[in-house]
């Protein structure tokens, strides 16, 4: 009986992993993953990665994060924009572009699980889910921007038309509002969807 239930849970997890993988891929390859709000664009691709991490665990979350990175890599090559330079060595000529493209996204699939697992021991599950959503979203923003500044600061300053000394302030001005809006949307969706999915586990 125990083995049957274990197999059912395993099958259910694989179905969810397939579903989340498809959602991440579709969002990453279409404008649905980048919702315009006024002059800002809210990235939503990371949200199913965060939800998958909380519900399915760090390893499956890391796989979803890899798919997120893969879609960024593909789109940077087939529909390049001014920032595609940082996400593909095909354009930058620098293998470190793969670090910017993949590592933050894989971490988005790992951190939320451990954040949620740790917080639910010391606080309300609802709060744990909300914080996991917020920090999962910020993981993507903080690590992507940190790696860009570490490896490509001069090029990024050139794109933003600023100096290296002013780069940090300009980044905050350009990315700050987006990061806050993404974190809020991530918190709301992580809380509402994970509550339903975790209830059946």
* 3-state helix/strand/coil string of the chain: CHHHHHHHHHHHHHHHHHHHHHHHHHHHHCHHHEEEECCEEEECCHHHHHHHHHHHCHHHHHHHHHHHHHHHHHHHHHCCCCCHHHCCHHHHCCCCHHHHHHHHHHHHCCHHHHHHHHHCCCCCHHHHHHHHHHHHHHHHHHHHHHHHHHHHHHHHHHHCCCCCCCHHHHHHHHHHHHHHHHHHHHHHHHHHHHHHHHHCC
Determine which of 39-48, 77-86, 91-100 has the lowest per-residue pLDDT on average. 39-48
Residue 192 CA neighbour count, 13 Å, CB half: 7
Residue 34's pLDDT band (cuts 50, 70, 90): confident
Is pLDDT above 50 for 35? yes
Is pLDDT above 50 for 39? no
Q: How many independent structural domains does the chain possess?
A: 1
Please state the pTM of the whole predicted model. 0.91
User: Tens digit of pLDDT for each residue in 122-174?
Assistant: 999 999 999 999 999 999 999 999 999 999 999 989 888 888 888 888 888 77
Domain region containing 146: 2-199
Determine which of 31-45, 116-130, 178-192 has the lowest per-residue pLDDT on average. 31-45
Distance separating alpha carbons of residues 76 and 78, to the nearest angstrom: 6
- The average pLDDT across 82-102 equals 95
Residue 38's pLDDT band (cuts 50, 70, 90): low
Distance separating alpha carbons of residues 92 and 85, to the nearest angstrom: 5
Quick one: tokens of 55? 């519900």
| CA-wise closest residue to 54 among 172, 167, 200, 195 | 195
Average pLDDT, rounded, for the chain? 90
Instruction: CATH number of the domain at 112, please.
Output: 1.10.1760.20
User: Tens digit of pLDDT for each residue in 46-65?
Assistant: 999 999 999 999 999 999 99
Please give the pLDDT value at position 5.
59
């Amino acid at each position: 009986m125990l083995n049957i239930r274990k197999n059912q849970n395993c099958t259910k997890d694989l179905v969810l992993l397939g579903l989340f993988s498809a959602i991440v891929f579709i969002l990453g390859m279409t404008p649905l993953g980048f919702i315009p709000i006024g002059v800002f664009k809210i990235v939503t691709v990371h949200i199913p990665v965060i939800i998958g991490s909380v519900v399915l665990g760090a390893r499956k979350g890391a796989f979803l994060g890899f798919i997120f990175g893969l879609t960024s890599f593909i789109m940077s090559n087939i529909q390049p924009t001014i920032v595609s330079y940082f996400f593909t060595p095909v354009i930058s000529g620098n293998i470190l572009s793969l670090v910017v493209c993949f590592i933050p996204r894989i971490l988005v699939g790992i951190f939320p699980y451990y954040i949620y697992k740790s917080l639910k021991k010391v606080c309300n599950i609802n709060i744990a889910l909300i914080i996991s959503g917020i920090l999962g979203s910020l993981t993507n923003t903080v690590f992507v921007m940190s790696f860009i500044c570490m490896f490509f600061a001069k090029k990024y300053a050139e794109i933003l038309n600023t100096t290296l000394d002013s780069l940090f302030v300009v980044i905050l001005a350009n990315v700050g509002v987006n990061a806050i809006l993404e974190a809020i949307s991530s918190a709301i969706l992580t809380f509402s969807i994970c509550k339903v999915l975790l209830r059946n586990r």
